[in-house]
């Protein structure tokens, strides 16, 4: 059994990684940290994980691979220290997602703590970077919004069938904001309410642009990204719009391109009807529905993911499986929780 650890198990993504690893036949979770809960049994602090017999530590023990679920700004420093110990790392924070340190400074208002590592980090969107992830020692787990948006648009961008002016409209459950207390995620503020936020520029925007540009470097992309908070626990629905470059493209041609692009993929499915967030709840699946508005000549793509699984912990475990030589879908085969 390969030994695995989680730095900061007390956040939503950290605890979901622990839950998924519990059912993994090839790895054993042997070390978890969380300074606010250090010294407590994991099941005492997080009763739903009581079956995992571990004590929460202040520092990571001896492991072969670690997940860092610390907040951005803190995670990069921890990852660098773990790498120096010869341990492979998957960082689920935002610290290594942007390849340009100046972009990180602009969007996260902080100097990058480990800029030298940006040269070797691999962006952990498995369906697009599978071979590089398998050979890497440091993987940056994608953000939840970028996962849904990039997977929705990747086939169209790669094939060059749309104009480079793109709109991404995303709606997320409240868990995407994490466990930290804030007014905007207070029950009385969120319940029976929907609102847009970060309209002038969300931190995930440059990550979306970076991911799509990598698929078609000839383009100068213009992306408008507007996130919304929805009164539900988890899930992201993204609706993406772009003008078709060739007016002769109909829905069938577009769907054929999408199905060919994702042919053989276990966790990305091109579906026949607009997907719903309930259909991916608790799973590592991304459902994608491409169609064409013939009146305007515009491509419309809808994608659905669980922000904590395909948009977080599940995708991280998917990368871990590649890095450690396990079948990619190991411990990730669960179907949706419905209703």
Query: Could you report the per-residue pLDDT of 243-293, keeping only the tens digit for each?
Result: 999 988 999 999 999 999 999 999 999 999 999 999 999 999 999 999 999
Overall pTM surpassing 0.85 (yes/no):
yes
The pLDDT value recorded for residue 25 is: 98
79 is catalytic: no
Residues in the chain: 339
Sheet containing strand 222-229, edge to edge, reads 195-196, 222-229, 162-172, 236-244, 298-305, 286-293, 268-270
Each residue's pLDDT tens digit, 285-306: 999 999 999 999 999 999 999 9
The b/e string for 147-186 (b: 16+ C-beta within 10 A; e otherwise) is bbbbbbbbbbbebebbebebebbbbbbbbbbeeeeeeebe
pLDDT at 11: 95
Catalytic choice (144, 240, 286, 304) = 144
Q: Indicate the SS3 state at residue 162.
A: strand
Domains in the chain: boundaries: 2-120, 145-307
In this prediction, residue 180 has a pLDDT band, given cuts at 50, 70 and 90, of confident
Q: 145-307, what's its fold?
A: Dihydrodipicolinate Reductase; domain 2 (3.30.360)
Q: What is the pLDDT of residues 200-233, one digit of tens each?
A: 999 999 999 999 999 998 889 999 999 999 999 9
Name 256's Cβ contacts closer than 8 Å, sequence gap at least 6.
none
Same fold, 2-120 and 145-307: no
What count of other Cβ atoms lies within 10 Å of the Cβ of residue 337? 11
The two structure tokens encoding residue 32: 């978890």
CB 174 within 8 A of CB 214: no
H helix runs in 177-288, sequence order: 187-190, 205-213, 251-261
- The pLDDT of residue 50 is 97
Backbone angles phi, psi at 68, to 5 degrees: -105, 115
The phi-psi region of residue 297 (left if phi > 0; otherwise alpha if psi is between -120 and 50; otherwise beta) is left
55 — pLDDT class (breaks 50, 70, 90) = very high
Query: What whole-number distance in Å separates Cα of residue 320 and Cα of residue 138?
Result: 10
| All residues at 6 or more sequence positions from 279 whose CB lies less than 8 Å from its CB, including other chains | 287, 304, 336, 338
CATH topology assigned to domain 2-120: Rossmann fold (3.40.50)
Q: Quote the percentage of the chain above a pLDDT of 70.
A: 100
- Using pLDDT thresholds of 50, 70 and 90, give the confidence band for residue 327: very high
């Amino acid at each position: 059994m390969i030994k695995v650890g989680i730095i900061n198990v007390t956040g939503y993504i950290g605890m979901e990684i622990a839950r998924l690893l519990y059912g993994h036949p090839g790895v054993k979770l042997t070390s978890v940290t969380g300074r606010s809960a250090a010294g407590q049994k994991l099941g005492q602090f997080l009763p739903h994980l009581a079956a995992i017999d571990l004590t929460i530590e202040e520092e990571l023990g001896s492991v072969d691979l670690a997940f860092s679920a610390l907040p951005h700004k803190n995670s990069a420093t921890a990852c660098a220290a773990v790498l120096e110990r010869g341990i492979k790392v998957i960082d689920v924070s935002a610290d290594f997602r942007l390849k340009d340190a100046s972009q990180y400074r602009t969007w996260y208002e902080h100097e990058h703590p480990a800029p030298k590592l940006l040269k070797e980090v691999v962006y952990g969107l498995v369906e697009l970077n599978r071979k590089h992830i398998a050979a890497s020692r440091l993987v940056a787990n994608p953000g939840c919004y970028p996962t849904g948006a990039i997977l929705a648009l990747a086939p169209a961008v790669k094939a060059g069938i749309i104009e480079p002016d793109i709109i991404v409209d995303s709606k997320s459950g409240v868990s995407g904001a994490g466990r930290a207390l804030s007014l905007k995620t207070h029950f009385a503020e969120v319940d029976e309410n929907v609102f847009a936020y970060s309209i002038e520029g969300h931190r995930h925007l440059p990550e979306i642009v970076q991911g799509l540009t990598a698929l078609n470097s000839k383009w100068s992309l213009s992306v408008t990204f507007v996130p919304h908070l929805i009164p539900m626990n988890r899930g992201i629905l993204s609706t993406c719009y772009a003008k078709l470059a060739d007016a002769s493209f109909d829905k069938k041609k577009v769907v054929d391109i999408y199905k060919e692009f994702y042919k053989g993929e276990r966790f990305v499915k091109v579906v026949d009807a607009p997907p719903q967030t309930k259909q991916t709840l608790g799973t590592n699946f991304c459902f994608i529905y491409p169609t064409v508005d013939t009146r305007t000549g515009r491509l419309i793509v809808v994608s659905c993911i669980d922000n904590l699984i395909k948009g977080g912990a599940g995708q991280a475990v998917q990368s871990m499986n590649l890095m450690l030589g396990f079948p990619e879908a190991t411990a990730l085969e669960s179907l949706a929780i419905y209703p």
